[in-house]
Amino acid sequence: MNQQLVFGILIGLLVVVSAFQAVQLSQLNAQVSGAAKNSFAPAPQSGASAQQSSESVQLPAGITNAPDMVGGC
């Protein structure tokens, strides 16, 4: 076989595979976008959980020193 023919077939195959992957990625992006619209809707709260969300949250004592524990500049 001619070397140019082999390279042409390989490049054509790569173009077909990349087009197929682009279609799959587009479909996946549409599915994720559709699911994201529904999944981030806030759930209604009632009772004790609603009262807790209105109060300030107290962090554990170990977390207040976290920047010192991590190190860095």
**What is the DSSP-derived secondary structure letter of residue 2?**
-
- Using CA atoms, how far apart are residues 36 and 58, in angstroms rounded to an integer? 30
- Structural tokens at position 43: 């759930």
Cβ-contact 45, 53 below 8 angstroms: yes
**Ordered per-residue pLDDT tens for the chain, 73 residues:** 799 999 999 999 999 999 999 999 999 988 888 776 665 555 666 655 555 555 677 777 777 666 665 665 5
Q: What is the pLDDT of residue 9?
A: 97
Measured CA to CA, the distance from residue 73 to residue 43 in angstroms comes to 41
